[in-house]
């Protein structure tokens, strides 16, 4: 089985690097790392990855807006969306799922836990298929 | 003063003459008679000693009149005087020719005095006195008159005098009655006048008080410059317009009062929405739908504060919070409404900025902490480059402090949310015991490090509440970590869960330093720190208890504290249980 592909996006370079490490730990194939919402959506549309891992608060487009655009694009029907956000209250989490996210993790996060969750999400998808 | 003296004179001489005033005519006439007899040769004293006796009698009568006039207590004896006069005149008549004397007519003077007395018996007394005076020569000589004309004089003249006395008596009585009536009328007039004066004074007082009250009301209304106070009648026509309204809506009182309707300053669409909400019963006639939407709750006697948009005279708008109250008359009938509005445009803007700030803090503080904690974990997990024990220990310190900072950020965010009322509970039906047990368990390592013994006594039954598991856990964590922080090494922290009167009761008791009684009231205030805590340099910013209290209140519960300095503190948290009170474990 070929490795699953992923596009990540976060406007904070340090966090982005941390996310990349977690992605590598989960043994995913990182196609592109974007630092704003617009680039992120373009990369997702270009690569059609299996998974998009998005920060919420980003310049250009927020992670929630990117999620909604992905859900509205039929060509991206199979993509999983994982949101990583600094907003911790229930309203923010609810808004993430309402936008169409498959998973939501709050910052600060443990790279180890993030890797485990990514793996779990992908395994769950594989089982469902 | 002259008016007073003339009144006094009238009273003394006419209404209530003194004995000397009454006696004076008799004395003067008598003196004139003496003078005439002395001066005119044809007249002579026929009996000088008797005449002298008459003169002495007159002097006695006049002297008594003077004495009685000076003494009010003797005045009731004054009626003796005219009888002495009669006797003196009788003697004088006898001494100046007897039946042929010129001066018999003088007798009429004392007779009139006697006759003006109010009672009719004095008429008879006057007649008797006259008869004695005229027949005095026969009495003194002690013989019966020889001729019939002589004794008849002793009867006829007194009868004539008695008739005259009767007429005088009647006139006097009628005159007295009239005087009394006039006096009574005058008294009544005085009473009425005094009443009228009193009434006028009271009226003037009341008017003064009303003016003062009016001035007070006006000055209060005028002093309210940052809120608009507008009054309208039941149709909405404006009749009160304070300076605050002038400032807020850009119209003067003259331009608004009696000319504009209240609902003209509202956005029509808002009134329409409210009108639909009110859902009038079918068939009810609403005279003025726009105005009715504004006052419907107040009309039904409910206090209402609602957010509306006011439209200024220049067409610009502002958001206001309007309190509407009913105006009633003395019978309790609604005669209008009062609208007190506060401009909340700025307050809403502040609230929006606060929310924005909270969002910004949330992102900007948590993001660097995410990096710190994430990279610390990577270092710890790096299997290729294992760390020395010392390095692991240093990393632990860095991690612990990063988590402390994270908790502080969380507390600040939560406090901001409570302040702007934007925090919500994720409520589910949940068991309390696992939440408390989890808090006790996670505090275990801290307690061990601090040398504090911990214990937990669970409830005998299962207790379920409607609540937010994460927030309730946070409340328990706060109370337990506080108890550990404030308890010296060797002390104990005991946690108990019980069910009391339909409430889940969590008690956290420590044997710590305690809180002074005078500080207990402020304990739940934001950023408050007890003096015992600052003195002992226990770390913290004073948010834990205010957050715990906010969580408990949001769960419709109560948080109480009992404390004694040097002995310990107990926090008692009570939350109403959900649905059926308790499910027995058995």
Least confident span in A35-39, B130-134, B501-505? B130-134
Please give the pLDDT value at position B118: 79
Domain boundary among the residues B148, B172, B190 is at: B190
Q: How far is A121 from chain B (nearest CA, A)?
A: 21
Q: Which two tokens stand for residue B279?
A: 């859902």
Domain count, chain B: 4
Q: Is the pLDDT of residue B67 over 50?
A: yes
Of A57, A87, A108, the CB nearest to B374: A108
Q: Is the pLDDT of residue B36 over 60?
A: yes
Please give the pLDDT value at position B584: 40
Domain boundary among the residues B322, B343, B364 is at: B343
Please give the pLDDT value at position B575: 93
Q: Is A21 on the interface with B (CB under 8 A)?
A: yes
Domain-embedded: residue B129? yes
Rounded Cα distance, B294 and A27, in Å: 65
Domain boundary among the residues B365, B391, B419 is at: B419
Alpha-helical (H) ranges within B40-147 are 48-70, 80-95, 108-115, 121-134, 136-141
Residues B374-380 have a mean pLDDT of 92
Please give the pLDDT value at position B16: 66
Domain-embedded: residue B209? no
Q: Is B406 in Cβ contact with A88 (below 8 Å)?
A: no
Q: What is the DSSP letter of B462?
A: B
Rounded Cα distance, A21 and B157, in Å: 160
Peptide bond into A108 cis (omega under 30): yes
Average pLDDT, chain B: 86
A56: closest CA among A47, A48, A65?
A65
Question: Domain of B562: which CATH number?
Answer: 3.30.565.10
Q: Is A89 on the interface with B (CB under 8 A)?
A: yes
Residues B76-81 have a mean pLDDT of 87
The CATH T-level fold of domain A5-120 is Rossmann fold (3.40.50)
Q: Is A57 on the interface with B (CB under 8 A)?
A: yes
* Residue B256 shares a structural domain with residue B334: yes
Of A87, A91, A108, the CB nearest to B370: A108
Question: Domain of B287: which CATH number?
Answer: 3.30.450.20
How does pLDDT run across B122-167, given as a tens digit for each residue?
A: 888 888 888 888 888 788 777 777 777 777 877 888 888 888 888 8
Please give the pLDDT value at position B421: 65
Least confident span in A66-80, B218-232, B344-358? B344-358
Q: Which domain holds residue B533?
A: 428-576
CB B424 within 8 A of CB A91: yes
Scanning every residue of chain A, which has its alpha carbon at the shortest distance from the alpha carbon of B369?
A108
Q: Which two tokens stand for residue B7?
A: 């009144």
Chain B residues whose beta carbon lies within 8 Å of the beta carbon of residue A91:
424
Domain-embedded: residue B218? no
How does pLDDT run across B86-109, given as a tens digit for each residue?
A: 999 989 988 888 777 878 888 888
Chain B residues whose beta carbon lies within 8 Å of the beta carbon of residue A95:
none
Scanning every residue of chain B, which has its alpha carbon at the shortest distance from the alpha carbon of A114?
B374
Scanning every residue of chain B, which has its alpha carbon at the shortest distance from the alpha carbon of A19?
B374
Band of pLDDT at residue B37, cut at 50, 70 and 90: confident
Domain-embedded: residue B285? yes
Chain A residues whose beta carbon lies within 8 Å of the beta carbon of residue B362:
86-88
Q: Is the pLDDT of residue B14 over 80?
A: no
Rounded Cα distance, B231 and B241, in Å: 7
Domain-embedded: residue B205? no
Q: Are strands B317-328 and B227-233 parallel, antiparallel or unpaired?
A: unpaired
Q: How far is A92 from chain B (nearest CA, A)?
A: 11
Please give the pLDDT value at position B287: 59
Of A15, A86, A111, the CB nearest to B378: A111
Residues B324-344 have a mean pLDDT of 90
Chain B residues whose beta carbon lies within 8 Å of the beta carbon of residue A55:
none
B129: closest CA among B152, B100, B162, B97?
B162
* Residue B185 shares a structural domain with residue B229: no
Quote the ipTM score: 0.90
**Phi, psi of B311, deg, nearest 5:** -110, 120
To which residue do tokens 């993001």 refer?
B367
| R_g of chain B, CA atoms, integer Å | 57
Alpha-carbon dihedral angle through residues B90, B92, B94, B97, given to the nearest 10 degrees = -130
Interface test with B, best of A25, A85, A89, A94 (most B CBs within 10 A): A89
Q: How far is B386 from chain A (nearest CA, A)?
A: 17
* Residue B359 shares a structural domain with residue B327: no
Q: Is A90 in Cβ contact with B374 (below 8 Å)?
A: no
**3-class secondary-structure state, position B497:** strand
CA distances from B520 to B32, B370, B586 (A): 113, 37, 41
Q: Give the neighbor-by-neighbor strand order of the sheet with B453-457.
A: B453-457, B492-500, B503-510, B568-576, B558-564
* Residue B7 shares a structural domain with residue B105: yes
Chain A residues whose beta carbon lies within 8 Å of the beta carbon of residue B423:
89
Q: What is the DSSP letter of B317?
A: E
Least confident span in B71-75, B209-213, B420-424, B471-475? B420-424
Q: Is B426 in Cβ contact with A18 (below 8 Å)?
A: no
* Residue extents of the structural domains in chain A: 5-120
Please give the pLDDT value at position B580: 46
The size of the A-B interface in CB pairs under 8 A is 55
* Residue B91 shares a structural domain with residue B153: yes
Q: Is A93 on the interface with B (CB under 8 A)?
A: no
Domain-embedded: residue B32? yes
Q: Is B378 in Cβ contact with A15 (below 8 Å)?
A: no
Interface test with B, best of A86, A111, A112 (most B CBs within 10 A): A86
Please give the pLDDT value at position B4: 57
* Residue B393 shares a structural domain with residue B481: no
Domain-embedded: residue B583? no
Q: Is the pLDDT of residue B583 over 50?
A: no
Scanning every residue of chain A, which has its alpha carbon at the shortest distance from the alpha carbon of B381?
A112
CB B103 within 8 A of CB B93: yes
Domain-embedded: residue B461? yes
Band of pLDDT at residue A117, cut at 50, 70 and 90: very high
Q: How many residues does chain B have?
A: 586
A24: closest CA among A128, A126, A123, A111?
A111
Q: How far is B403 from chain A (nearest CA, A)?
A: 10
């Amino acid at each position: 089985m070929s490795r699953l592909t992923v596009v990540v996006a976060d406007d904070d370079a340090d966090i982005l690097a941390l996310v990349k490490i977690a992605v590598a730990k989960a043994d995913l194939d990182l196609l592109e790392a974007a630092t704003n919402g617009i680039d992120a959506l373009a990369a997702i549309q270009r690569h059609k990855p299996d998974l998009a891992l998005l920060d919420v608060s980003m310049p250009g487009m927020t992670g929630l807006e990117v999620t909604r655009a992905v859900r509205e694009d039929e060509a991206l029907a199979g993509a999983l969306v994982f949101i990583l956000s600094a907003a911790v209250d229930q309203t923010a989490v609810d808004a993430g799922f309402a936008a169409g996210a498959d998973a939501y993790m709050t910052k600060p996060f443990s790279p180890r836990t993030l890797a485990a969750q990514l793996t779990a999400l992908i395994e769950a998808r594989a089982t469902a298929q | 003063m002259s008016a007073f003296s003339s009144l006094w004179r009238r009273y003394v001489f006419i209404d209530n003459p003194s004995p000397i005033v009454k006696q004076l005519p008799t004395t003067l006439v008598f003196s004139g008679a003496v003078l005439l007899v002395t001066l005119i040769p044809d007249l002579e004293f026929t009996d000088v000693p008797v005449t002298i006796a008459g003169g002495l009698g007159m002097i006695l009568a006049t002297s008594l009149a003077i004495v009685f006039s000076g003494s009010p207590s003797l005045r009731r004896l004054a009626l003796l005087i005219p009888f002495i006069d009669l006797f003196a005149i009788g003697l004088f008549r006898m001494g100046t020719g007897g039946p042929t004397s010129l001066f018999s007519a003088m007798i009429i003077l004392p007779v009139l005095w006697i006759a003006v007395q109010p009672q009719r018996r004095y008429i008879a007394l006057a007649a008797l006195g006259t008869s004695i005076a005229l027949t005095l020569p026969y009495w003194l000589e002690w013989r019966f008159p020889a001729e019939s004309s002589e004794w008849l004089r002793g009867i006829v003249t007194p009868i004539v005098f008695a008739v005259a006395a009767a007429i005088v008596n009647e006139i006097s009585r009628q005159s007295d009655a009239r005087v009394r009536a006039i006096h009574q009328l005058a008294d009544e007039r005085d009473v009425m006048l005094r009443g009228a004066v009193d009434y006028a004074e009271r009226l003037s007082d009341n008017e003064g008080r009303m003016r003062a009250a009016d001035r007070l009301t006006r000055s209060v209304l005028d002093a309210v410059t940052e809120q608009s106070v507008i009054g309208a009648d039941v149709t909405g026509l404006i009749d009160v317009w304070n300076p605050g309204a002038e400032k807020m809506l850009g119209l003067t009182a003259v331009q608004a009062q009696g000319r504009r309707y209240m609902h003209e300053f509202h956005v029509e669409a808002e009134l329409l929405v409210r009108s639909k909400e009110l859902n009038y019963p079918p068939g009810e006639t609403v005279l003025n739908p726009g105005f009715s939407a504004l006052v419907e709750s107040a009309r039904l006697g409910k206090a209402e504060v609602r957010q509306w948009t006011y439209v200024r005279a220049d067409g610009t708008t502002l958001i206001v919070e309007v309190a509407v109250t009913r105006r009633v008359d003395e019978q309790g009938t609604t005669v209008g409404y009062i609208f007190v509005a506060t401009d909340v445009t700025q307050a809403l803007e502040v609230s929006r900025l606060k929310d924005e700030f909270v969002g910004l803090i949330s992102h900007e503080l948590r993001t660097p902490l995410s990096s710190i904690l994430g990279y610390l974990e990577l270092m710890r997990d790096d299997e290729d480059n294992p760390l020395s024990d010392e390095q692991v220990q240093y990393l632990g310190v860095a991690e612990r402090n990063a988590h402390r900072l994270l908790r502080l950020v969380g507390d600040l965010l939560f406090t901001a949310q409570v302040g702007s009322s934007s925090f919500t509970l994720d409520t589910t039906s949940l068991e309390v015991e696992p939440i408390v047990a989890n808090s006790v368990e996670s505090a275990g390592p801290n307690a061990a490090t601090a040398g504090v013994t911990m214990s937990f006594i669970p409830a005998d039954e299962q207790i379920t509440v409607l609540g937010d598991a994460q927030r309730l856990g946070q409340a328990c964590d706060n109370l337990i970590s506080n108890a550990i922080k404030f308890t010296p090494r060797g002390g104990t922290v005991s946690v108990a869960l019980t069910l009391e009167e339909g409430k889940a009761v969590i008690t956290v008791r420590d044997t710590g330093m305690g809180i002074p009684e005078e500080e207990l009231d402020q304990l739940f205030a934001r950023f408050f720190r007890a003096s015992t805590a600052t003195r002992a340099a226990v770390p913290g910013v004073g948010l834990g208890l205010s957050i715990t209290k906010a969580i408990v209140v949001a769960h419709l519960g109560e948080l109480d504290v009992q404390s004694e300095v040097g002995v310990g503190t107990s926090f008692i948290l009570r939350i109403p249980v959900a649905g059926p009170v308790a499910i027995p474990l058995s």
